[in-house]
Structure 1
Amino acid sequence: MKPNCLRTVFLILLASVSAFAEAGEPATSDVVIYGATPAGIAAALTAAGGECSVLLIEPTARIGGMTTHGLSHSDFHSFESLHGPFLKFSQRVLKHYETTYGKDSEQVRDCWRGTHGEPSVNLLIFQQMLAEKPSIRILTEHRLTRVTVEDHLITTLTFSLPNGGSVAITPRIVIDASYEGDLLAAAGVPYGVGREARSEYGESLAPEKFDTQLQGYNFRLCMTQEPKNRVPVPVPKNYDRDDYATLVPLVREGKFRSAFGYPGSPFVLKAHLPALPNDKRDINDVSKGLVRLSLPGHNLKYPDGDLATRRRIEQEHLDWQLGLIHFVQTDPALPEEFRKEAATWGLCGDEFTETDHIPPQIYVREARRMVGLRVYTEADTEYAPNDARSRLHPDSIAVGEYSHNCHGTDHEGPMIGGRHTGEFYKGVAPYQIPYGVMVPKKMRNLLVPTACSASHVGFCAIRLEPIWMSLGGAAGHAAHMTLEANIPVQQVDIEALQKRIWSYGGATIHVSDVPPGHPDFAAVQWWAGLGGLHGLEPAPAKPGTRGQHIVSQYFEAFPGHAAKLDQPLDDALTKRWTALVRELNLPVPVDPTTRGDWIREVFATTRLAVEATDSKQGKRTRTSHPAGEEKLALQLLGVSDEQVERFDAARKAGLLEWAPVHLPTHPPGDCNHYGWPVATMSGDTIVVMHRRIPGHRAKGAGKPHPKMSYGVVLRSDDSGKSWSEPYDLRDCMKPEDRDRGGIVPLSHRAKFDKGNQSPLGYKVHLHAIGTARDGAVIA
């Protein structure tokens, strides 16, 4: 796309919705999210963390994506891996069941720590979480029809209305959280559909040659055997028993003992275990089965299809599933006992009441995949050499721990009795996902957490809702940061983004024994992300080895992924960690005795202000340590022990809050700041000013002048948890004062706001002290 040219791209989708405003001047919003999938909801919740206005737009009538459309059997393997948005959501689901039925109830037991909510409960929790954020506005039944792009910037989004009209919205940042990648395609962002050739990325699971095959779809019906809540399964209008007749000899040969079941006994339809609360089950496709719900090959026109094409494909899949259930329940050629057992199952009468108890959303496992800054492939999940951990990604913003999981991309032989091809299930260790998979190469204000940048094989390790929620949450954080700093999405400071993710309880690397809410969570995430926890355990004899099996797809913690903070340091590890901190130009800890002591001491010299969310109690807990421990910082500041005691007494009385500050080293700040204590009123904004000297790199705000030093200011609205990009104070000086050098006098400082136009002054809470990269102390 050429610069400075206006391009409008049309997406051919029919209208089906209501709107909040008709034609005229476009509505505006800081962040516009298309697709109220779990990823979209997570993005909205994190983007709304500040004062950003957020529009969450859903093309259908029901928010929540597959999590509210029947996929209640959440795809993860160990509870120790849960973090961030999905963990917060599941904790809210658990609390709902505890409040409604009692902590010792069967419903609490069956919700599986909140990860197995009924579709209606999942919907309720999402609605409640969004309602708690007044800056979020939700628009359902708004279908995208047009995207206007100018100079690699999305300037206008247009949505169809049910009355034939349209509404236009002007966004600052856009997040495409749709399963299909409709917005990115309409914006002209490059994408792919199909399977790459094995030679393109060297993937063992890829086909020999490129093809257009696509992973199969199916509906996730919610069914029950509870007579009081059981509704008969409707018979499709085009039902033909001949479509299913080849099942009869397979049943009589003993290939199937029941219509519904779970691996361990032969069955036709998978009724997931554990069961959901209130005697409900999530019905799914049977991997490598002789009878399948998914229909690969029948969905090839879905990703780029218009609404009519998609509806036709969805109806074909639904008719196949409902027809199969009707056949196993009623066909006289089947054994009577087989039919009787099948007839004990029905749709849930209290679910999907608006759509005849059938979820309206089909399970789109894979559609378009953006071609972005970073293409995620099979290699990204491979084990690091001789290591229990997977390959290290320092730019990680999310964690996955499922597997490369593909339900098949084609079918050979009869529909019943044949087999899917292109199917694979490859176990791997927990893996990191880098920021670049969400970022287009050129579009400056778009992030894509769901239809993200990955090969077919790589995407099959990402496409699970807990992982998508982590990516969505990271996208919301990144959107907030781009607005705050007024930068394109490609220039987001990854270290600052990671810090923000940790402060909200999100993980960027898997550490099984240091969960969100742990006092050392942020410190361990930081150290592990640098490679500090790699090399502690050898690779398992069998790739993909998990912990002890619990039930179904759930296991105890992955072996080899614990930090073991209380374990004494040995000489070999001390030597390796010493080399790492020296490489990072950090001070070597003095006589630490345990792994935890080492990590805490090193971390204390860097990011002392990171906060982690205590998910269990709903509180924020600081990962910092008493200011008296920060000896170098106190020496530089000249703070006496008596002063520290006075500050600490005020803190204990609730009058002040310690806000140990560390400015990021790249790109803001451009110097390695030591931590120092700042006493502020709890929750205060902290404005930090420091001096740049000749030779500082030109990143951040403004460019350094070769013959002068100058002042920059940074702002934190969360008591030092996160920081803005640096602002060059020369930009708000009078012309005659601009090049005078040194720290800008207070009389020439402008109010620190996004416009930087106000003549009013502001209070500088602290004058920063640290060391420049050339080793000089600056004041």
Structure 2
Amino acid sequence: MQKIFLPALVVLTSVIAGHGLAQSLPKPAVDGLRYYYPPERVEPREIETDICVYGGTSGGVVAAIQARRMGKSAVLLSFGKHVGGLTTGGLSHTDGGGADVCGGIAREFYNQIGQRNFKPSAAEDVYKKMLTEAGVEVYYLAHLDKVNRDGTQITSISMEDGLVVKAKQFIDATYEGDLFARAGVSYAVGREANSVYDETYDGIRQPGTGGHNFPTAIDPYVRPGDPSSGLLPRIVADGGVPGEGDKAIQAYCFRMRLVKGEDRLPFPKPNVYDTQQYEVLARLFESGADPRMGWSIDTNNHHLFDGAYFIDFVGGNTDWPEGDWMTREKIFQDHANYQIGVMYFLTHSPRIPDQWRDRFAAFGLPSDEYQDTSGWTHELYIREGRRMLSDYVMTQDNCQGYEVPEDSIGLASYNMDSHHCQMVAVDGAIRNEGNVEIRVSPYPIAYRAITPKASECTNLLVPVALSSSHIAFGSIRMEPVFMILGQSAATAASQAIDDNVSVQNIKYESLAKQLLADGQIIQYEGSSEGPIHPKTLKGIVVDDRDAKLEGEWEESNHIRPFIGRGYRHDQDQAKGKCTATFATKLKSGEYEVRLAYSANSNRASNLPVTIRHAAGEQRVVVNQREKPSIDEIFVSLGKFRFDQQGEVVVSNEGTDGHVIIDAVVFVSVE
């Protein structure tokens, strides 16, 4: 067990600054709801342990349990009054994490509470029981103050209340990467430009594309139709250049537990109630659009107006990742006031039609959950914070199976997913920007992605705010995955102690052997129809991302198989305005030209394709509703002679359905 040292004379010092902070904190949105509790006093004390886990998230809980199971002493430091993060603070079911991709301690946990319709308090009870059984000491209200280093080694970390923890290994299990940032480890915040990692879904998106868009044009101005009156809250005039990077991150919210019945608590009026924050909601109802209400026991942003505008506080979280505790407390209360106000507005405002107000009022907050915080969850959903930058960065290529690391420590399986990052005024209407939902198959996460650069820190592992691009993190960021990575991190930390090496120099073969022995799943054994890599194909491949495009083409990977990262379609719109030219240099000779597409009943049956060859041009009509005859992905357009240049042009002129462009292959005729 860890050693605890107390000075011979323990001095309890009043923290004058702490009292001042407490007095300057914003008033809670509802009674008891707070993110940051400044220490009332400093009690100097020191703990020595093998492994220190900072961050009471689900990943932190599992890491601490695994450290003890590996025979190491361990402490868990939680910033708030609870352990379990979002799993015990909002979720009632988990996305992803099925038994075919999630094993180990995470599977033990889910076998006890289930993965759907569990109570957050029950989940926390199970976590606490597992922590107690493992012999983990838990310290609450542990607010990081200082990180002490000797070269590339962290020697100890200090909390604001006087607690100092010395350890051989440290694990940063916070959602925001607070420990590694204070330790001087490199990190990123926001969205990278697509060009940084050669991605297509990372940077700024075209406003109004992706899912969860406004069902009708909603005026963005304070006085409708009058730009001089200014924009409504959190709506911006300029969303940036699509494909470029920015500091925006996907929106946060509180995952609400809503209940029906006589014992429900009515939605309270928050401390700060600004009806202008709900003007967009009022205008949506007044537009006559279908609210598409889908409230349930675990209500998320898409459960009203299909997620166009509801509980995500879009644009209100930009300063959270790098904010100090006071900054975050203010942002926390802004989110709480807004979202609690949403529910109060929907059930009390005369601008909401009577029939809908009555339906909303049938719901309320639970009387048997979150009793210290007025029935409202204590946990803000931090969908994204800092992301470490190590020698290996998980990217879109990993998510789509284009690149497969050899040092897997667990699997992720959720979509590449981002909630809205901005609301942008475009041509007198609000358009959402940032939403991405791209299907993936289960894929491995690299050990190197949770390991800092050796030049920066050699006894720290980061299983939550790991090294990844914005869009890759959007897939990885599921609670079961954090639990998986927490167990793997603690296993690696224990091996580093046993072998007296840095975390970068443990033997991966030994790590993988231990993970498998402990029930982890590090390779996917199920059926997975992943992308077809162009390098595996016979011939010269021109992918859709290398084609010259004119008009609006929408990216997708919904229907498989496909070449590369996905395919594009014309959205069955703007007929005659969309073309794709697939061109490449060739050695003079005869080639069979093949067109790749995924068939479906909504495709065009009369797609015009023009092949430009040595003797001129030839037009071929392709029925994309029929399954391609070559390997179920290609159709032959014929054999042609080319003289140093091959060119195929696909057009949507006159087509009677969605036009699909995936790839063109030129296969030399022997």
TM (normalized to structure 2)? Answer: 0.65
Question: What is the CA-CA distance between 1:542 and the residue it aligns to?
Answer: 6.3
Q: Give, in angstroms, the shift of residue 232 of structure 1.
A: 1.3
Out of 338, 343, 349, the residue aligned to residue 361 of structure 2 is 343
Identify the residue that residue 122 of structure 2 maps to in structure 1: 121
| 1:41 equivalent in structure 2 | 61
Amino acid in the other structure paired with 2:165: I
Query: Could you give the per-residue CA deviations for residues 51-102 of structure 1, whole angstroms, max 9, x where no partner exists?
Result: 2110000010111100011122211175533322321111011xxxxxxxxx
Q: Residue 400 and residue 335 in structure 1: after superposition, are their counterparts in 2 closer, same or farther (change >3 A)?
A: same
Return the match for 2:84 from 52, 64, 73. 64
Aligned: 1:426 with 2:446: no
In structure 2, C-alpha distance between the alignment counterparts of 1:82 and 1:371, rounded to whole Å:
25
Distance 1:18 1:55, change over 3 A: farther
Structure 2 vs 1, CA of residues 247 and 255 (structure 1 numbering), >3 Å: closer, same or farther?
same
In 1: Cα distance, 2:341 partner to 2:50 partner: 47
- Aligned residues of 1:71 and 1:220 also touching (Cα < 8 A): yes
What residue number does 1:130 align with?
131
Letter aligned with residue 307 of structure 1? W
Tell me which residue corresponds to 1:81.
101
1:16 aligns with 2:37: yes
- The secondary structure found in structure 1 opposite 2:76 is strand
- The aligned runs of 1:345-744 (5 Å cut-off) are 345-384=363-402, 391-413=403-425, 418-442=430-454, 443-512=457-526, 540-541=560-561
1:32 matched to 2:28: no
Q: Secondary structure at the match of 1:200?
A: coil
| Residues 102 and 411, structure 2, Cα contact 8 Å, conserved in 1 | no
The answer to whether the 8 Å contact 1:290/1:418 transfers is no
Residues 83 and 124 of structure 2 are in contact (CA less than 8 Å); yes or no, is this contact kept in structure 1? yes
Measured in 2, the distance between the counterparts of 1:250 and 1:16 equals: 38
For 1:19 and 1:175, the matched residues in 2 are separated by 27
Provide Cα deviations, 1:406-445, integer angstroms capped at 9, x if missing partner. 002211149x983321211111111110100100002111
Are 1:196 and 1:206, in contact at CA under 8 Å, matched by a contact in 2?
yes
The Cα of 1:306 is off from its aligned counterpart by 1.2
The residue number in structure 2 matching 1:582 is: none
Structure 1 CA distance for aligned equivalents of residues 382 and 69 of structure 2: 30
Structure 1 residues 479 and 125, CA gap change in structure 2 (3 angstroms):
same
1:327-354 CA-partner distances (Å, limit 9, x unpaired):
1111223221111111011110111111
| In structure 1, C-alpha distance between the alignment counterparts of 2:63 and 2:351, rounded to whole Å | 51
Displacement after TM superposition at 1:190 (Å)? 0.9
Structure number with greater CO (CA < 8 Å, separation at least 6) is: 2
The CA deviation string for residues 197-222 of structure 1, in whole angstroms up to 9 with x for no partner, is 11111001122222111111111121
SS in 2 for 1:379: helix
3-state SS, counterpart of residue 72 of structure 2: coil
Aligned to 1:231: 265
Contact (CA 8 Å) 1:19, 1:142: kept in 2 or not? no
Q: Which runs of 5+ in 1 are unaligned?
A: 1-11, 94-112, 258-265, 273-279, 385-390, 515-533, 546-779
Q: Equivalents in 2 of 1:50, 1:435: separation in Å?
A: 18
CA contact (8 A) 1:197 1:206 kept: yes
Q: Give yes or no for contact 2:313–2:339 (8 Å, CA) kept in 1.
A: no
Task: Return the offset for 1:282.
Answer: 3.8
Name the CA shift for 1:437/1:511 in 2 (closer, same or farther; >3 Å): same
Identical-residue share of aligned pairs (%): 31
* 1:209 aligned onto 2:209: no
Spell out, residue by residue over 1:227-250, the C-alpha distance to the aligned partner (whole angstroms, 9 max, x if none). 22x011111232133432443453
> Following the alignment from structure 2 to structure 1, what is the Cα–Cα distance between the partners of residues 561 and 51?
47
| Superposition deviation, residue 457 in structure 1 | 1.5
Change (3 A) 1:428 1:114: closer
Quote the Cα distance in structure 1 between the aligned partners of 2:41 and 2:409: 34
The match for 2:590 is: none
RMSD: 2.8
**Cα–Cα, structure 1 residues 295 and 81, in superposed 2: closer, same or farther, change >3 Å?**
same
Equivalent in the alignment of 1:716: none
How far apart are residue 378 of structure 1 and its match?
0.6
Kept in 2: contact 1:175–1:448 (CA 8 A): yes
Structure 2: distance between partners of 1:225 and 1:293: 19
Query: CA, structure 1 residues 502+367, in 2 after alignment: closer, same or farther (shift >3 Å)?
Result: same
- Distance change (3 Å), C-alpha of 1:413 and 1:293: farther
For 1:505-560, what per-residue CA distance to the aligned partner results, in whole angstroms no more than 9, with x for missing partners? 1111112389xxxxxxxxxxxxxxxxxxx99xxx9336999xxxxxxxxxxxxxxx
Q: Identify the residue that residue 144 of structure 1 maps to in structure 2.
A: 144
Q: 1:301 is aligned with what amino acid? A: D
Paired amino acid for 2:443: Y
Aligned partner of residue 258 in structure 2, secondary structure: strand
Deviation of 1:312 after TM superposition, in Å, equals: 0.8
Equivalent residue in structure 1 for 2:320, among 289, 302, 308? 302
Size of the alignment, in residue pairs?
Answer: 462
Partners of 1:444 and 1:489 within 8 A in 2: yes
Residues 270-291 of structure 1 show CA distances to partners (whole Å, capped at 9, x for unaligned) of 535xxxxxxx434445596331
Unpaired segments of 5 or more residues in structure 2?
Answer: 1-16, 22-35, 204-242, 529-535, 538-558, 567-670
1:133 to partner: Cα distance: 0.8
CA distance in 1 between counterparts of 2:464 and 2:431 reads: 29
**What is the deviation of 1:16?**
3.2
Structure 2 distance, partners of 1:505, 1:240, is 51
Correspondence 1:181 to 2:177: yes
Alignment of 1:212-291 (within 5 A): 212-228=247-263, 230-257=264-291, 266-267=292-293, 271-272=295-296, 280-285=297-302, 289-291=307-309
Match of 1:776 in 2: none
Q: Which amino acid aligns with 1:349?
A: S
Cα pair distance change 1:51/1:77, threshold 3 Å: closer
Q: Given residue 167 of structure 2, which amino acid in structure 1 is its aligned partner?
A: P
Give 1:318 deviation, angstroms: 1.2
AA aligned to 1:65 is G
Partners of 2:94 and 2:358 in 1: CA distance:
30
Residue 522 of structure 1 corresponds to none
* Cα 1:383–1:437 shift into 2, 3 Å: closer
Aligned partners of 2:418 and 2:197: how far apart in 1? Answer: 18
Following superposition, the deviation at residue 396 of structure 1 comes to 0.5
| Matched letter for residue 159 of structure 1 | M
Aligned partners of 2:463 and 2:418: how far apart in 1?
Answer: 19
CA contact (8 A) 1:214 1:296 kept: no
Cα shift readout 1:667-699 (whole Å, capped 9, x = no counterpart):
xxxxxxxxxxxxxxxxxxxxxxxxxxxxxxxxx
Provide the C-alpha distance between the structure 2 equivalents of 1:421 and 1:365, rounded to a whole number of angstroms: 16
